[in-house]
Structure 1
Amino acid sequence: MATTQTELETEPRLTLKLRSDNEPKPEWLETLEQEGWVVVKGVLSSEKAKTYEDAAYAFLESFGMGFDRNDKTTWVPEQMPFFFKGGLFHRYGTGHEQFLWDIKQEPAVVDKFAKVWGTEKLVSSFDGCNISLPIAGRDPNDFAFKPWPHVDQSPLVTGLHCVQGIMNLCPNGPEDGGLMLLKGSKALYAQLWEAFDDVKPPGGWNKGDRHDHTPEQMQWLIDNGCEYHKVCAEPGDLILWDSRVVHYGATPASDNPRIASYVCYKPACLVTEDIAQKRRKAWEEKVQTSHDPITFRTNPRQAPEDHPTYDHPKVKDLQAPVLTDLGKKLAGLESW
């Protein structure tokens, strides 16, 4: 999968910290700081979450490939647009679909990140969604079920760099797929790279915001007290985690769907002119980005060449999401 990385080799490497210690912190923010992750309950109502869930199904049906939300026999890859692993949708400019922008510009969602960073002046990522559906007869050894532990942060950056988010839209229990994280891994973030310094790649650790952990690195973390934890949440809950936490998206092992949108915001003051131009280009071309609003990768609108939707009309029909005044500022179309 071809992606384009907005690297930091020509930009200052960012080291951020949470809001001032002198300001009162809600309990969930204390938990985020200490544990590296938290579930913020009831950020959106269950009714509003259901509306967004329905919009996600409508998105799948809009491709005209035979998918029908009411007929589970159509819940198969052959009748769905292209997705990665269990259900990551990052082609077609999915992150610019109206329902995903409606979530991005939800004041209650934005407010939580404003509390994280201590400012209301934020910019949003152009990230997409996860629609992981239980597929009948799928082999338990299918690639989709294989863990892919990683962090979305360079090993060269050991301080707080980003807080990622998932707006959960469906009931999400232990077997329903969703965020699987390694408890305790944030505290060992810097130590891990030191422990494996003698076997780092010839060119050094990756400068971009990504590291896929080797079996040896995972075993070291487990030997040092870390353990996997499946995050459970209800519709309307917001899951937040520090990018130093090892994690991956688990595919449903139950008969229940997993539907969630990815949300991430950072202070607008971090947007340089160069970053602003790259964000503007991504907006105009309606391409989806990775999680970070500042140091992002872009994904092509087209599906892989061997997928039936490679030349689908939706590839060329650019979305035109309607934004609120808040949404325009989050997108970078208007100044704060």
Structure 2
Amino acid sequence: MSVFDAEALEFWEENGYVVVPEAVPFENCRAAEQAVWDFLEMDREDPDSWYPDPPRRSIMVEIYQHQALWDNRQYPRVHQAFSEIWETEKLWVSFDRASMNPPERPNYAFTGPFLHWDMSLDDMPVRLKVQGVLYLADTPGNQGAFTCIPGFHRKLENWLSDLPDDANPREVVRDYQAEAVPVAGKAGDLVIWHSALPHGSSPNSAERPRMAQYITMSPAPENGNAESRIEGWRERLTGLGRETKEKEHYQGKTAELTSLGEKLLGLESWHA
């Protein structure tokens, strides 16, 4: 059964982002949220425990290989959504981390990330590349929600070419913060966006932290070498290309995969 109807796909093409409602069940969200709290050694009901920085790096949480995160990555509706964006089911999933964005306080201000790109701005023309964030708890627009400038993916090339030669686009885009739109969502909603959109998180003026898990997928290479990916999963290494032995390696347990999860990892081939 399709995730996106014609209206949702039209919205995606026009705005460069789309929300997948109820991408995973609530119990998946609660399990992943608790995994983040446990990893941080913080108490979800004790606001005073939310602010010491280590082991949180900014709002990012360096948890990658927990079973609860894998359960969301390998959930069929999540895969189906990315399959419809890419127009192929043969995908690999990213080893992305989680996020805990606590409310601002007099002694704690939001540290970013503000508007930015995670893609190279030298590789033009713009090609399809996507990212995603799964809300693990209800996230109103003022609760540190994901933000982006809708439609910017369609004008990025012209915008770059119109900049002065000595301008740094990654600095210039910070002046566009007022154009950023917060994308609210319920627990289990997945926001998928085109990587050409300037995007970021936002200051949290609510009462609860924003709890989220980053997930994206991209086409599996036909002759791709999955050995490092398999090792990362089996040995519980950090993701994002760092592949180091940190807390999960020493204290965690290797996640169990479904048959879909094995293909999304590369343990089993889509092309067999």
Using the size of structure 1 for normalisation, the TM-score is 0.70
Amino acid in structure 2 at the alignment position of 1:213: R
For the pair 1:83 / 2:83, whether they are aligned, the reply is no
| Cα distance in 2 for residues equivalent to 1:320 and 1:71 | 30
CA–CA separation in structure 2 for the residues paired with 1:277 and 1:44: 28
Residue matched to 1:15: none
Q: Deviations over 1:195-225 (max 9, x none)?
A: 2362267xxxxxxxxxx711x3444x68xxx
Q: Distance in 1 between matches of 2:248 and 2:192?
A: 31
1:263 aligns with 2:181: no
Residues 298, 200 of structure 1: alpha-carbon distance in 2 compared, 3 angstrom cutoff: farther
Structure 1, residues 271-319: CA drift from partner, whole Å, max 9, x if none? 544x5344345335433333xxxxxx326444xxxxxxxxxx6553454
The residue number in structure 1 matching 2:232 is 282
Matches within 5 A, 1:48-197: 48-61=28-41, 67-77=42-52, 81-85=54-58, 87-90=59-62, 94-134=63-103, 136-139=105-108, 142=109, 144-146=110-112, 148-157=114-123, 158-196=125-163
User: In the alignment, residue 195 of structure 1 is paired with which amino acid?
Assistant: D
Task: Confirm or deny: 8 A CA contact 2:116 2:173 kept in the other structure.
Answer: no
Give the root-mean-square deviation of aligned CA atoms.
2.7
- SS of equivalent residue, structure 2 residue 37: helix
> Cα offset for 1:132?
1.9
The amino acid of 1:263's aligned partner reads: I
- Which residue of the partner structure matches residue 256 of structure 2? 322
Distance 1:169 1:229 in 2: 20
Instruction: Give the C-alpha shift of residue 255 in structure 1.
Output: 1.2
Shift of 1:161: 3.1
Counterparts in 2 of 1:197 and 1:112: CA distance versus 1, 3 Å: same
What SS class does the counterpart of residue 101 from structure 1 fall into? helix
User: Structure 2 CA distance, aligned partners of 1:200 and 1:99?
Assistant: 43
Q: 1:147 to 1:281 in 2, by over 3 A?
A: closer
1:327 Cα offset (Å): 0.8
Unaligned runs of 5+ in 1: 1-23, 62-66, 202-211, 291-296, 303-312
Matches for 1:239-258 after TM superposition, within 5 Å: 239-258=191-210
| Counterpart residue identity of residue 97, structure 2 | G
Q: Is the 8 A contact 2:16 2:194 kept in 1?
A: yes
Instruction: Provide the rounded CA distance (Å) in 1 between the counterparts of 2:252 and 2:32.
Output: 21
SS at match of 2:180: strand
Aligned residues: 266
What is the rounded CA distance, in whole Å, between the counterparts of 2:253 and 2:237 in structure 1?
Answer: 10
**Secondary structure in structure 2 of the residue aligned to 1:151:** coil
Name the CA distance, whole Å, in 1 between partners of 2:181 and 2:191: 13
* 2:271 pairs with 1:334: no
1:123 CA displacement: 0.7
Percent identity (aligned): 29
Distance 1:289 1:32 in 2: 28
Q: What's 2:20 paired with?
A: 40
Task: Specify the alignment match of 2:8 in structure 1.
Answer: 28
* Paired amino acid for 1:76: Y
Contact 2:147-2:201 within 8 A present in 1 as well? yes
Following superposition, the deviation at residue 32 of structure 1 comes to 1.3
Provide the C-alpha distance between the structure 2 equivalents of 1:98 and 1:271, rounded to a whole number of angstroms: 27
Partner Cα distance (2:202, 2:173) in 1: 20
Tell me the residue number matched to 1:8: none
Task: Measure how far apart 1:35 and its partner are.
Answer: 0.8
CA contact (8 A) 1:184 1:227 kept: no
Distance 1:217 1:314, change over 3 A: closer
1:105 shift after superposition: 0.6
The one-letter amino acid paired with 1:160 is: R
Q: Distance in 2 between matches of 1:146 and 1:131?
A: 12
